């Protein structure tokens, strides 16, 4: 296929990846810490113990620092949609715009109003109203995330729309099908879950540092109980929501699931690779073993993907080349159907120019029939449907491995804090502190799985990335890429510095 320059597409892609990954360094802590702060304030209001008020205000200040540094970093992606991804933006029409508009209104009214009460309202509004505001900030932040993830979920599993060849846009047919798409809901739950885990890790990690330094030990231990309890619950929730995400991937993005597991030849009663190294020489359709030193959990992939231990899980070979026995259509056949859809759109365009209603109607009928394969028509060869396997595979396994570690860590920390004296377990305290960055590694790895794993699609099956990009000057994209890299790095350094200074002041040090 003759697309715009690969250099331009790669820079546009790299820029979007950079902004999304950096943005997601700030977002998860906001999601998680907002609820932890609300829980701490609830304990204060319930018990009347002023120590809990001091604790709440300390974590609330750290929440504010993270919120302030992260706010508006997501706007950059909206800039990019209009400039680098203009074709995509037009094609998705109001489907993408509607959830983002709802998000904007919600974020503005809920967060900004109650955020002010949360920070300026101590001693000025009643305890109950202040607590309500803190909870509403938490709920508002999470609702904002919901609408953004609805938009993302639609790209992964486009539903609730009809393509209009007159406007060349997808138009919303059902708002609720878009908003409550199972992929969007699973994505939302798993993403906020990762934010909650990061919140829990942050609280136990910072508290561990304070205990190690012998600062505000009582307050740090209390914080640790809340952080570890919350962290343990949400890390289990994260594992469950991860199961649902894998199930949805199996139903709607089987190529992604196969890449996550490095599965080439599909099998019944498929296991999950717990540990293994991908064979770099492995190609689609050959007989090389795909993974070295693999340790497998039997039946787990069939169960995860289809909730049935006997289920057949298609591999990359089946999805690319087709598998008649299991009724799996190969990519070559889909590419042919995609070309028919594109041809039908072209015929519709010509018929409309000629004002030939009959030809328009025939072309429209053909287009509607083959529209689900539209994007395949732009692919050159069947293997183009395969995402970067190594990046997807390793990111997935890093994410899952770390997720397991977090459950164990929260369990140990909670036990030692509640039933023992955690101040004596310095190695555990160091582990808690060093696990803060691991939370971010896991969350970013999750994004890589979600976004790299769905390549080559900007919109699953409908629009590959090469068609979604705008034909603009690649140099312009390179310059703005480096400017963003500088800006975000500066913001990250600023956040870490301000945060560390505030932590050094201590819990009782005033805010």
Partner 1 sequence: MKITNIITHIIFFYVDGFRQMKVGKKLWLLIGIKLLILFGVMKFFFFPNYLKTTYDTDEARSMHLIEHLTKERQ
- Interface positions with partner 1 (CB under 8 A): 1-3, 61, 64-65, 68-69, 71-72, 75-76, 79-80, 82-83, 86-87, 89-91, 116, 119-121, 124, 165-169, 342, 345-346, 349, 378, 467, 470, 472, 476, 479-480, 483-484, 487, 491, 494, 498, 502, 510-511
End-to-end, the C-alpha distance of the chain in Å comes to 59
Q: How far is CA 212 from CA 208, 220, 412, 418, 429, in A?
A: 6, 10, 17, 18, 7
Task: Rank residues 116 and 173 by Cβ distance to partner 1 and give the closer one.
Answer: 116
DSSP, collapsed to helix, strand or coil, labels residue 457 as strand
Question: Minimum Å distance from CB 41 to partner 1?
Answer: 18
In DSSP terms, which residues pair with 161 in a beta bridge?
Answer: 172
DSSP, collapsed to helix, strand or coil, labels residue 97 as helix
Question: Minimum Å distance from CB 149 to partner 1?
Answer: 23
Question: Minimum Å distance from CB 376 to partner 1?
Answer: 13
Question: Minimum Å distance from CB 90 to partner 1?
Answer: 5
Task: Rank residues 410 and 484 by Cβ distance to partner 1 and give the closer one.
Answer: 484
Indicate the pairing of strand 312-313 with strand 267-268: antiparallel
- Nearest CA-CA partner of 117 in 86, 145, 140, 96: 140
Residue 251, CB-side half-sphere exposure with 13 Å CA sphere: 15
Distance CA 121, CA 116 (A): 7
Which residue is associated with the tokens 């969350």?
443
Phi and psi torsions of 163, nearest 5°: -85, 130
Question: Minimum Å distance from CB 397 to partner 1?
Answer: 36
Burial of 280 (0-12, 13-18, 19+ CB in 10 A): exposed
Question: Minimum Å distance from CB 165 to partner 1?
Answer: 8
Question: Minimum Å distance from CB 505 to partner 1?
Answer: 9
Task: Rank residues 144 and 235 by Cβ distance to partner 1 and give the closer one.
Answer: 144
Contact 482, 18 (CB under 8 A): no
Question: Minimum Å distance from CB 69 to partner 1?
Answer: 7
Distance CA 429, CA 435 (A): 10
Contact 302, 269 (CB under 8 A): yes
Task: Rank residues 388 and 510 by Cβ distance to partner 1 and give the closer one.
Answer: 510
Contact 263, 270 (CB under 8 A): yes
Task: Rank residues 302 and 480 by Cβ distance to partner 1 and give the closer one.
Answer: 480
Paired tokens of 409? 């860590």
Task: Rank residues 83 and 383 by Cβ distance to partner 1 and give the closer one.
Answer: 83
Distance CA 319, CA 315 (A): 6
Distance CA 63, CA 86 (A): 35
Task: Rank residues 87 and 279 by Cβ distance to partner 1 and give the closer one.
Answer: 87
Task: Rank residues 121 and 330 by Cβ distance to partner 1 and give the closer one.
Answer: 121
Q: How far is CA 8 from CA 136, 342, 465, 486, in A?
A: 43, 24, 11, 20
Task: Rank residues 120 and 292 by Cβ distance to partner 1 and give the closer one.
Answer: 120
Question: Minimum Å distance from CB 478 to partner 1?
Answer: 11
Task: Rank residues 286 and 346 by Cβ distance to partner 1 and give the closer one.
Answer: 346
Question: Minimum Å distance from CB 489 to partner 1?
Answer: 13
Contact 263, 301 (CB under 8 A): yes
Residue 321, CB-side half-sphere exposure with 13 Å CA sphere: 13
Question: Minimum Å distance from CB 86 to partner 1?
Answer: 4
In DSSP terms, which residues pair with 313 in a beta bridge?
Answer: 267
DSSP string of 26-62, one letter each residue = HHHHHHHHHHHHHHHHHHHHHH--HHHHHHHHHHHHH
Paired tokens of 508? 């009782």
- Cα pseudo-dihedral 459, 461, 465, 470, rounded to 10: -70
Question: Minimum Å distance from CB 337 to partner 1?
Answer: 16
Compute the 3-state secondary structure of the chain and give helix, strand, coil in percent, each to the nearest 5: 75, 5, 20
Task: Rank residues 231 and 466 by Cβ distance to partner 1 and give the closer one.
Answer: 466
Task: Rank residues 323 and 470 by Cβ distance to partner 1 and give the closer one.
Answer: 470
Question: Minimum Å distance from CB 472 to partner 1?
Answer: 7
Task: Rank residues 119 and 430 by Cβ distance to partner 1 and give the closer one.
Answer: 119
């Amino acid at each position: 296929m003759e697309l715009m320059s690969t250099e331009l597409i790669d820079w546009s892609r790299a820029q979007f990846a950079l902004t999304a990954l950096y943005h997601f360094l700030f977002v998860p802590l906001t999601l998680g810490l907002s609820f932890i702060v609300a829980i701490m304030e609830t304990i204060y209001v319930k018990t009347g113990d002023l120590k809990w008020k001091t604790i709440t205000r300390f974590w609330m200040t750290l929440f504010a620092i993270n919120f302030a540094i992260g706010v508006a970093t997501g706007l950059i992606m909206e800039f990019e949609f209009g400039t680098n991804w203009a074709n995509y933006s037009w094609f998705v029409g109001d489907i993408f715009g509607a959830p983002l508009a709802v998000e904007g209104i919600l974020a503005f009214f809920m967060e900004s109003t109650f955020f002010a009460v949360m920070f300026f309202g101590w001693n000025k509004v009643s305890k109950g109203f202040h607590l309500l505001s803190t909870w509403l900030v938490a709920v508002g932040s999470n609702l904002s995330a919901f609408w953004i993830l609805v938009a993302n979920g639609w790209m992964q599993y486009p539903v609730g729309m009809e393509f209009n060849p007159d406007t060349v846009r997808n138009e919303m047919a059902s708002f609720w099908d878009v908003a409550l798409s199972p992929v969007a809901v699973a994505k939302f739950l798993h993403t906020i879950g990762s934010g909650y885990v990061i919140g829990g890790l942050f609280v136990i990690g910072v508290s561990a540092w304070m205990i190690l330094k012998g600062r505000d030990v009582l307050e740090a231990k209390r914080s640790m109980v809340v952080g570890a309890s919350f962290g343990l619950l949400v890390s289990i929730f994260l594992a469950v929501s991860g199961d649902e995400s894998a199930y949805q991937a199996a139903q709607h993005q089987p190529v992604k699931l196969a890449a996550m597991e490095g599965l080439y030849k599909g099998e019944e009663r498929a296991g999950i690779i717990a540990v293994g190294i991908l064979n770099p020489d492995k190609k689609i359709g050959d007989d090389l073993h795909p993974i070295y030193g693999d340790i497998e959990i039997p039946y787990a992939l069939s169960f995860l993907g289809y909730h049935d231990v006997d289920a057949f899980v298609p591999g990359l070979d089946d999805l690319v080349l087709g598998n008649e026995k299991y009724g799996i259509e190969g990519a070559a056949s889909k590419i042919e159907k995609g070309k028919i859809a594109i041809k039908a759109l072209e015929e519709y365009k010509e018929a409309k120019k000629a004002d030939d209603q009959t030809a328009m109607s025939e072309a429209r009928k053909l287009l509607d029939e083959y529209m689900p394969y539209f994007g395949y028509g732009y692919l050159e060869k069947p293997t183009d449907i395969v995402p970067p396997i190594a990046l997807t595979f390793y990111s997935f396994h890093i994410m899952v491995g770390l997720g397991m570690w977090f459950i164990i860590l929260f369990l140990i920390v909670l036990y030692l804090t509640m039933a023992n004296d955690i101040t004596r377990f310095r190695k555990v305290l160091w582990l808690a502190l060093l696990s803060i960055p691991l939370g971010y590694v896991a969350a970013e790895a999750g994004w890589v799985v979600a976004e790299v794993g769905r390549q080559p699609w900007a919109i699953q099956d409908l629009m590959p990335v090469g068609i979604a990009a705008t034909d603009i000057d690649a140099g312009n994209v390179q310059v703005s890429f480096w400017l963003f890299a500088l800006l975000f790095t500066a913001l990250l350094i600023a956040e870490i510095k301000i945060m560390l200074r505030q932590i050094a002041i201590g819990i009782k040090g005033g805010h």
